[in-house]
Amino acid sequence: MARPGGNHLWLPYTQMQTTAPPLTAARTAGTSITLDDGRQLDDGVASWWTACHGYNHPEIAAAVRRQLDEMPHIMLGGMVHRPALELSEALATCLPGDLDHVFFSESGSVAVEVALKMAIQYWLNKGQMGKTHILSFTGGYHGDTQATMAICDPEEGMHHLFTGFCRANMYSPFPSRLRMRRL
Q: What is the per-residue DSSP string for 146-173?
A: HHHHHHS-TTSTTGGGGBTTBPP-EEEP
Write out residues in the chain with pLDDT < 50, as ranges.
1
Q: Which residues contact 137 (CB under 8 A, 6 or more apart)?
A: 153, 171, 172, 173, 174
Convert the pLDDT of each residue in 163-183 to its tens digit.
Answer: 788 888 888 998 876 655 555
Say how many CA atoms lie within 13 Å of 157 toward its Cβ.
16
The one-character DSSP state at 133 is -
Q: What kind and span of H or E run contains 90?
A: helix 82-92
Residue type, 34: T
Neighbour count for residue 91 (Cβ, 10 Å): 13
The DSSP bridge pattern shows strands 40-42 and 135-137 to be unpaired
- Determine the Cα–Cα distance for residues 66 and 88; give it in Å rounded to an integer: 19
Spatial contact of 118 and 130, defined as CB atoms under 8 Å apart: no
Rg (alpha carbons) of the chain, rounded to whole number: 21
What is the pLDDT at residue 49?
Answer: 73
* Residue type present at position 61: A
Task: In whole angstroms, give the CA distance from residue 131 to residue 3.
Answer: 46
Q: Which of 172, 111, 80 is nearest to 119 (CA)?
A: 111
Contact by Cβ (8 Å): 33, 45:
no
